Amino acid sequence: MTPRLAESFRFPLATPAARRDILVGGLWLLTLLPGWILNLGHRLAVVERLHRAEIPYFRGFDPLGATFVRGLRAFAAIATYLSPGALSGVLGWQLDEPAALWSGVALLALAVYVLPGGMTYNAAFNDLAYLYRPDMALRRALRGGSAYLRAWGIALAAISVSLLGLLGLGVGFLFTSVWAWSVVGHAFATALVLSDPAARRV
């Protein structure tokens, strides 16, 4: 199934419950990193329900503890994916070593590209292996083919649109960013797990 921009853009706004979760998620972002982690856990739960066709998809953030822990695990995985490239890039810049710098840039780009593969499968199947095995995430990304690339296009479009929230004295961005990341979750879930009968196969 190929993700569609209009459908993904509408998904976080389609129901009163979805709109309420954007409002609550934006308010949680006032706590900075804890709120971001909580929103991440919430987004993973929504993708899991989407994969299982468990309506309603948006059910708030409760239980807060479980939602936060789920987000914290994913946050640790993001740091794990990005650390090698970031470390190499920083060292290359500090030591004036172009090879290390550009290796770091390449590793960061690859990590960012494959992260949605691992994150989406972790969300759908609640399987931590997909978070901490970049090789599995890479296989998922490659298997997604053109649909995965289209999901990336939708994700970049949503993130770009979310920047308009900065016009609302900056506060609006709290809510537009929550909307954008829900769009991202929907797009990658559509591309990777919603219609693939062999989705569980590594």
Does some domain include residue 197? Answer: no
Does some domain include residue 202? Answer: no
Which amino acid, 127?
D
Does some domain include residue 198? Answer: no
- Tell me the pLDDT tens digit for each residue of 126-163: 888 888 888 888 998 999 999 999 999 999 999 999 99
Please give the residue range of the domain that contains residue 13: 5-192
Task: Specify the pLDDT at position 201.
Answer: 43
Does some domain include residue 9? Answer: yes
DSSP 67-79: HHHHHHHHHHHHH
Task: Specify the pLDDT at position 195.
Answer: 53
Report the distance separating Cα 57 and Cα 10, nearest Å. Answer: 13
Phi first, then psi: give them for residue 49, nearest 5 degrees.
-65, -35
Report the number of distinct structural domains present in the chain: 1
Overall pTM surpassing 0.95 (yes/no)? no
Cβ–Cβ < 8 Å for 187, 155: yes
Does some domain include residue 200? Answer: no
Whole-Å CA distances, 100 to 3, 5, 63, 103, 111: 37, 37, 44, 5, 16
Report the distance separating Cα 16 and Cα 1, nearest Å. Answer: 26
Does some domain include residue 20? Answer: yes
Does some domain include residue 201? Answer: no
Cβ–Cβ < 8 Å for 67, 74: no
Report the distance separating Cα 125 and Cα 52, nearest Å. Answer: 9
pLDDT tens for the chain, residues 1 to 202: 789 999 999 999 999 999 999 999 999 999 999 999 999 999 999 999 999 999 999 999 999 999 999 999 999 999 999 999 999 999 999 999 999 999 999 999 999 999 999 999 989 988 888 888 888 889 989 999 999 999 999 999 999 999 999 997 789 999 999 999 999 999 999 999 875 544 544 4
